[in-house]
């Protein structure tokens, strides 16, 4: 009996997904644990494998490579070789998980003969479904590129014949399209110089859509208020220099902030909390989310039990997360469970800013860059180095005095880093 496999929900915020690549063709035998497809979610591109009970011959592909579909849309159909699934595709009741009503509009025109929809000549043909597509891009015989690279090229209007591939065998991959800079012809240059108007429409990615939705919900639901403090970073700079002189791995200022914030959260548990509607949840553990900028937006991988980890361990973990985020290899376990969030834009030359709370967290810390400024010490104006911190608080869960006390503790740790060892 036919088995319907729907678009899975691979993250708690996922509402739709993009099939980046199929690893199985119509007619292949599917077994438990077999890699079926790569699915791009709002946060990463993840492998999708056949679960227990999902075995049989791949009879139908409902979502082609490069296509977007909501969660629970018909992804594919498994069954016995030669099994008639025409009734299923037309809206009949399937034997396995029901999702037949969405199957009809999702059918990809991969086979011209109506009587034999399972006799697909080649899965690569599904890439040609989206239109309009430049012929050179869709001609697999002339251009070797990943499905995701082809889709991006179509969106950006890039001729793949002009793109150099960095993948295996010269295959064009996503990073090649992203980094491609077309040569400006004399005619185009002349028109730009003459003041011609123009614009480019870039479709929103799954990540960008999710960021927009969640931050809008946070900003317009949680009553934000902001507390700012200036930290003297002279001692922190000296401590970091000493540590890096003997440490195997370099310690960053961000590592110091994460550690200091984690220790401060243990002393001020009200900040380490979440608004849950009918109650406030105060966490005993400290899981610090560290915002990481990626091409399509922002991800927040989580350093778990940050208060109990060394500076080197925190640094190594953050670096690993950053690389995985850029490669879209983060897993749900990497970004779930934060109790507090830190967003650091100091490395981009930003002096100070305010951040939107990463719900359901009660607070988020915005970290600016270290500035060389005149400061007053012992009644004398001397050169100094300061850093500005801004704490965004959800007033439903945190009051001003509570947030201020947390910032004072954080300031003390950073201005006397040796106290973090006590």
In degrees and rounded to multiples of 5, residue 297 shows phi and psi of 160, -125
Q: What are the φ/ψ torsions at residue 107 (nearest 5 degrees)?
A: -65, 125
Q: Are 369 and 387 in contact (CB under 8 A)?
A: yes
* Active-site residue flag, 395: yes
Determine whether 71 is exposed, middle or buried from the number of CB atoms within 10 Å of its CB (0-12, 13-18, 19+).
middle
3-state secondary structure of 322: helix
Q: What angle do CA 333, 249, 411 make, to 5 degrees?
A: 75
Given the residues 23, 285, 385, 395, select the one marked as catalytic.
395
Rounded (10°) CA dihedral 128, 129, 130, 135: 30
Euclidean distance between CA atoms 126 and 103, whole angstroms: 16
Cis peptide before 132 (omega within 30 of 0): yes
- Report d(CA 51, CA 168) in Å as an integer: 30
What stretches of 146-252 show up as alpha helix (H) in DSSP? 147-156, 174-179, 186-193, 206-221, 234-246
**Which residues are known catalytic residues?**
395
């Amino acid at each position: 009996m036919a088995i319907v496999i729907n678009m899975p929900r691979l993250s708690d915020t996922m509402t739709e997904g993009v099939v980046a690549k199929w690893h199985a063709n119509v007619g292949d035998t599917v077994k438990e644990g077999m890699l079926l497809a790569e699915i791009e979610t709002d946060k990463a591109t993840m492998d999708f494998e056949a679960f227990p009970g999902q075995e049989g011959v791949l009879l139908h592909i409902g979502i082609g490579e490069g296509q977007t579909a909501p969660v629970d849309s018909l992804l594919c159909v498994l069954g016995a070789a030669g099994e008639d699934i025409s009734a299923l595709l037309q809206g009949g009741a399937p034997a396995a998980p029901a999702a037949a009503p969405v199957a009809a509009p999702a059918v990809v025109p991969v086979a011209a003969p109506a009587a034999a929809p399972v006799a697909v000549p080649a899965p690569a043909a599904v890439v040609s479904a989206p239109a309009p597509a430049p012929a050179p891009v869709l001609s697999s015989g002339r251009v070797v590129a990943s499905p995701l690279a082809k889709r991006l090229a179509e969106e950006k209007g890039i001729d793949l014949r002009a793109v150099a591939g960095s993948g295996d065998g010269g295959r064009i991959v996503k990073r090649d399209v992203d980094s491609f800079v077309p040569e400006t012809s004399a005619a185009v240059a002349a028109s730009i110089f003459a003041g011609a108007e123009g614009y480019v429409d870039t479709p929103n990615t799954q990540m960008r859509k999710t960021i927009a939705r969640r931050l809008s919900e946070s900003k317009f639901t949680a009553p934000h208020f902001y507390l700012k403090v200036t930290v003297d970073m002279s001692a922190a700079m000296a401590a970091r220099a000493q540590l890096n002189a003997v440490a195997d791995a370099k310690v960053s200022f961000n590592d110091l902030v994460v550690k200091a914030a984690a220790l401060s959260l243990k002393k001020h548990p009200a900040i380490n909390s979440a608004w849950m509607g009918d109650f406030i949840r105060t966490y005993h553990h400290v899981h610090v989310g560290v915002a990481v900028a990626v091409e399509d937006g922002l991800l927040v991988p989580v350093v778990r039990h940050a208060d109990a980890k060394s500076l080197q361990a925190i640094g190594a973990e953050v670096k690993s997360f950053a690389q995985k985020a850029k490669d879209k290899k983060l897993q749900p376990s990497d970004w779930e469970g934060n109790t507090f969030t830190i967003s650091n834009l100091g490395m981009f030359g930003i002096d100070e800013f305010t951040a939107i709370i990463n719900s359901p967290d009660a607070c988020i810390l915005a970290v600016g860059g270290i500035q060389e400024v005149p400061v007053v010490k012992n009644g004398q104006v001397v050169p100094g180095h300061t850093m500005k911190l801004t704490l965004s608080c959800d007033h439903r869960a945190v009051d001003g005095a509570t947030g201020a006390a947390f910032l004072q503790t954080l300031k003390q740790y950073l201005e006397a880093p040796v106290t973090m060892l006590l």
